[in-house]
Amino acid sequence: MEVKELTSYRTHRRRQWRHAAAPTAGCDNNRVTLQRTGRRPDDARSAARTDLFDTADVYSNGLSEEILGKAIEGRRQDVLISTKSTFRLGTGPNDVGSSRHHLIQACEASLRRLATDYIDIYHLHGFDALTPVEEVLSTLNHLVESGKVRYIACSNFSGWHLMKSLAVSDRYGWPRYVGHQVYYSLLGREYEWELMPLALDQGVGALVWSPLGWGRLTGKLRRGQPLPAGSRLHQTADKGPQVADERLYKVVDALEQVAKETGKSVPQIALNWLLQRPTISSIIIGARNEDQLRQNLAAEGWSLSAPQVAALDRASEQEPVYPYWHQWQFAERNPPPVSH
């Protein structure tokens, strides 16, 4: 869910997804809350001004889209919907990828599950190297021109994937990717090395997934203490980005210090740090219940001080790989978008 009114947009010289930077809640996680409580998104809207919901066709094999469609029934004109396709959803040879056949089929299926006749932001969930980029973008252009999709975006692309796609769009006058869903957090700052400079140059807004470092920056993990019994990391730690213990606790120590200074929670500090980074249009948050959701949404509407941001930057520094460590030595003419 995107949680800010359509004001104070971030703009670049090209059109990007210009919804104001704020926390977003992914419906893959929130589907459980909606099912158990029967609560509609409107119930939290008055306090959080929620208006963008992110989901995907593969989340719970389409169930997430179905639940979202029912939850926003009667309020479609008041909300924005982001969904994704490309990943496998079925056993057939055409049930995967970004071919014309699969994208049209997947989009129409998402529209039925969401009970709507258009999608505000349609993401490619990953890059399909087996389908020509021209076929992919001409198909997305068809979906836009037919009124089924408003804007197109991508997810988890490499720099060359995104730049080649943007160049093809420019060559043929087709819609450009205005957004890019990326992994970015205090524990994973690789986005800053290639994708952030590209986004700044080309005007592509970032929608950040897993902004709490795969659930490690919730405030429950602390130096010298065992992993809480109820933590999902018991089941998911091996499936996501790996983080050395010392690096994790160095970041957590810094977060706890800033939390004491501000009176905010550890996850609120981690989320607010992201909201102040260049190119960030939205951060996607997951919650097990409404209270947790409201706590995360409270990460916006205020700002960390420059010294606090600097302290978090220092604690979360990462050793860059080539060619970035070499490029940073020529910062006089090739400055990085954020300090390192």
Is residue 322 annotated as part of the catalytic site, yes or no?
Answer: no
Both tokens of residue 44?
A: 């939290």
CA quadruple 85, 87, 90, 95: dihedral positive or negative? positive
CA–CA distances in Å: residue 69 to residues 5, 40, 60, 136: 22, 11, 14, 26
- Report helix, strand or coil for 82: strand
DSSP classification of residue 214 = T
Helix then strand count (H, E) for the chain reads: 13, 8
User: What are the percentages of helix, strand and coil residues in the chain, rounded to 5?
Assistant: 45, 15, 45
Active-site hit among 59, 122, 177, 184? 59
Q: Which helix (H) or strand (E) holds 307?
A: helix 306-315
Place of tokens 């076929």: 135
Residues 6+ apart with CB under 8 A from 294: 44, 47, 48
Cα–Cα distance measured from residue 93 to residue 95, given in angstroms and rounded to the nearest whole number: 6
Q: Answer yes or no: are the C-beta atoms of 1 and 259 closer than 8 Å.
A: no
Residue 170 parent element (H or E): helix 159-172
Which residue numbers are catalytic? Answer: 59
